[in-house]
Structures are given as C-alpha cells and as structure tokens.
Amino acid sequence: MQVGTCKLCRAHGELRESHFMPAAIFSQLRTPSRTNPHPVLITKSVSTISSRQIKDYVLCNDCEQRFSKLGESWVLANMSRPTGFALQDALKKAGPFAASDGFALFSGAAIAGIDSDALVYFALSVFWRAAIHQWKSVAGNTEPIKLGPYEDEIRSFLLGGPFPANAVVTVSVWPTNNVLPAAYTPREGDAPGFAVFNFMIPGIEFRLHLGSIPSELRALCAKKSPQRVIIASASLEQETMQTFFDLMKTSKPSRRLSGN
C-alpha cells in the first residue's frame, strides 16, 4: 500500500494498487497452447506478449470495493470466457424486442438476470479511470482521455450521485458465437457535434457519448432508455477488427512476440 489521496472520494489515507482494466480480463486473454501463454498486447508503437497489467496507486480500499460491488463483479462474471458467455446466452434466450438486418435490440430491463446498472457503472468507472490518471503501459505513459466538464459529473455518479444529463452509455454484445478474445482500453472516436469514447472487454463493447446527443442515440442508452437497451450488431465485429488493423499499421512486433 501507499499513502496518498484517493482520486474518487478524495480522502487522504492508504491507497490500494488499482488496476486500470480489471485483472480478471487479462486472465481470460491467455492462450495456454502457446509456449508463452500471456496475452498479446498491441499499442500504436509496439506489440508484445506480457503478463504485465496496467496498475498504480489511485484508489482507497473503500472505493476499490465500491467499484467491485457495483460493477466489476457482475460484468466480469458475465463477459465472454472460455467456459461460456452468460450475457450473450441470456439475450439469445429472451430474444430481441426489435431487429433488422444485422442489428438487434434487447431489453435489459425485461430480461431476468441482467444487471443493467452494473453494466453502466462498470463502463463509467473505466472511462473515468482513463481520464483522471496517466497510467503506464508496456509502451510507456498512456495519454488520458479528456472528459472535460463531465469528468466531475461522472465522479459524482460513481459516488452515488445522479447520472449525467448529457451522457449516453451504450452497451454492445458480440453478435456471433465465435467471440474474439480481445480487449482494449478507452479511446476517443469521431462523432458529429459531441464527444464519443469506447473500450472493449471480451464480448462486450462500451461507448460513452457526451454533449448534444441526438434523440435517436439517447433512445439506445443502457441507463436512461425505458428498455435499458443492449445492442447486438454485426458492425461490432467489423469495427473491432478494423481497430486492431489500424493499430498494427504502426505497431512493431517485439522480439518476444516474433520468437513465440
């Protein structure tokens, strides 16, 4: 432990070694059949195999437990794992309330066993962590995302306050049985007239939209829409592959990766 000020509750005291992305995600990305089974980590500058996780002294024990209880525990238990994908199974069993070619909408509010509050809380906890600290990865210091005036509103929500009025969180689940075992940390995207950020854990993508958000997008919010919408779209698979393809354009394989 280390003494300092918790960035969530802002109390001074002992800090825990906090993970940027939960440790359980890394364990699901291991490939036991490889000589080196650790996850392949891809950044804009380097690709390597490593067991190193992104962590630092950021939160106190109470706030670590808050994150675990209100979001992480349920989400990590229900994401895609080698043993199954509980969230996807629940959606398939219930069926969508609306669908078109390559696109389906499910009601998290109506499906027993789905904790939409946990999905939203987990999403905002990760986006907030990406904004308030400069984490160190295998490629060096990360560049924090910029949440602007919404950073403190999200912090307030994580402490039990209201959901930010000008925010939308969307949750998209991998649309096929063949789930890509991949994850990436929050990054900023492009959107007309408002800010958008996204990150992915195995089988689930989260997006945060901030600002003047159109009504059709607000209708897909996993927090504020009446159905607590969860999305399954064929485009998620295509967009994920494009994300990694773009990274690999500039990412140089390390000796460890080349020799695996």
23: left (phi over 0), alpha (psi -120 to 50) or beta: alpha
Give the residue from 36, 75, 69 showing the smallest Cα distance to 52. 36
> Cα–Cα distance between 108 and 90 in angstroms, integer?
10
pLDDT in tens, 117-171: 999 999 999 999 999 999 886 555 678 999 999 999 999 999 999 999 999 999 9
> Cα–Cα distance between 87 and 75 in angstroms, integer?
9
With contact defined as beta carbons under 8 Å apart, do 167 and 219 qualify? no
Q: Give residue 91's Cα distance to chain centre.
A: 19
Q: Give residue 238's Cα distance to chain centre.
A: 18
pLDDT recorded at residue 142: 75
Q: What average pLDDT does the segment 22-37 reach?
A: 63
With contact defined as beta carbons under 8 Å apart, do 64 and 13 qualify? no
pLDDT in tens, 234-245: 888 888 777 777
Identity of the residue numbered 76: L
With contact defined as beta carbons under 8 Å apart, do 133 and 144 qualify? yes
With contact defined as beta carbons under 8 Å apart, do 77 and 22 qualify? no
User: 3-state DSSP call for residue 219?
Assistant: coil
**DSSP β-ladder status, 252-253 and 46-49:** parallel
In the predicted model, is pLDDT for residue 78 greater than 50?
yes
- How many C-beta atoms lie closer than 10 Å to residue 144's C-beta? 15
Domain extents for the chain?
A: 2-253
With DSSP H G I counted as helix, E B as strand and the rest as coil, what are the percentages for the chain, rounded to 5?
30, 30, 40
Distances (CA, A) of 31 to 78, 82, 84, 212, 248: 20, 10, 16, 43, 20
Whole-structure pTM value: 0.89
Q: Give residue 130's Cα distance to chain centre.
A: 10
pLDDT recorded at residue 165: 94
